[in-house]
Amino acid sequence: DAKTTQPPSMDCAEGRAANLPCNHSTISGNEYVYWYRQIHSQGPQYIIHGLKNNETNEMASLIITEDRKSSTLILPHATLRDTAVYYCIVRPTSNTGKLIFGQGTTLQVKP
């Protein structure tokens, strides 16, 4: 599975957009980019995933570069409840692909 690199921590002001970067320079053509987050002492929560095109849902937007070697998760209007560890994971499209978690980015949203 491709490895991902994320900054260990980031701060964001409440109400502002939070942009979380992820590098996955060794990603293969059959691998999706997934984003999960984990609020303290809870199970991870699925946010969004994508293959090549940018994606948007009610939680966030995912911007994937044209060469697919990096991506950015955007929380458009961060709230205090968005404080969590955010994990960027690449996984094969096949049903046997496992989610392997790296260290993630700890996002602290401040008032």
Residue 42 DSSP class: S
Query: Considering only residues 25-84, where is the footprint of another protein by CB under 8 A?
Result: 36, 38, 41-46, 49
Nearest residue (CB) to another protein, 89 versus 109? 89
Nearer to another protein, 29 or 111 (CB): 29
| Min CB(16)–another protein separation in Å | 27
- Cβ–Cβ under 8 Å, residues 88 and 25: no
Would you say 50 and 27 are in contact if contact means Cβ atoms under 8 Å apart? no
101 touches another protein by CB under 8 A = yes
CA angle, residues 96, 66, 89, in degrees to nearest 5: 35
Minimal distance, residue 89 CB to another protein, in Å: 10
- Determine, following the binding rule CB under 8 A, whether residue 103 of this chain makes contact with another protein: yes
Pairwise CA distance, residues 12 & 98, whole Å: 31
Name the phi and psi angles at 70, rounded to 5.
-155, 165
- Is 68 or 91 the residue whose CB approaches another protein more closely? 91
